[in-house]
């Protein structure tokens, strides 16, 4: 299980990762829900639009952290399927992602992740399924 019990533990966990490089700030994590923000700046295409891949990074981050919380002691979540539909673009500010559990099983967990802009307009919708594995078998 990934330790997200305190802001300090979460910061230590994401130090040096893609999560840190994209500027994602995780605001809430539980097995049923995770919420976080990501700046548009630094995560754009050459045309100045939020990169679709960055939206997927936010979605997979939030869903995976929630799945880790669901997994329990001695297990970690690894993504096995992700898809996303991009509804609109963002050019500035923060986007907010909310992962909501769809299925919390013994070996898998699935989440719908909605990403919205500062005006609460849906930017993207993603779906993530994670496999819950023994943390000694990772790698």
Catalytic residues: 60
Residues in the chain: 139
> What burial class does residue 110 get, using C-beta atoms within 10 Å of its C-beta: 0-12 exposed, 13-18 middle, 19+ buried?
middle
SS3 5: coil
In the beta sheet, which residues pair with residue 101? Answer: 111
CA-closest candidate to residue 92, choices 51, 41, 47, 52:
41
Extract the tokens encoding 42: 């630094």
């Amino acid at each position: 299980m990934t330790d997200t019990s305190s802001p300090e533990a979460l910061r230590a966990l994401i130090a040096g990762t893609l999560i840190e490089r994209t500027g994602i700030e995780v605001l809430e994590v539980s097995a049923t829900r995770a919420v976080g923000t990501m700046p548009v700046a630094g995560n754009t295409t050459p045309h100045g639009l939020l990169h679709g891949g960055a939206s997927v990074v936010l979605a997979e981050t939030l869903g995976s952290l929630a799945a880790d919380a669901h997994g329990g002691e001695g297990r970690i979540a690894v993504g096995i399927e992700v898809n996303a539909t991009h509804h609109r673009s963002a050019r500035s500010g923060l986007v907010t992602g909310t992962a909501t559990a769809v299925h919390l099983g013994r070996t898998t967990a699935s989440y719908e992740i909605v990403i919205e802009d500062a005006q609460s307009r849906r930017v993207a919708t993603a779906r993530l399924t994670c496999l819950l594995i023994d943390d000694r078998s990772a790698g």
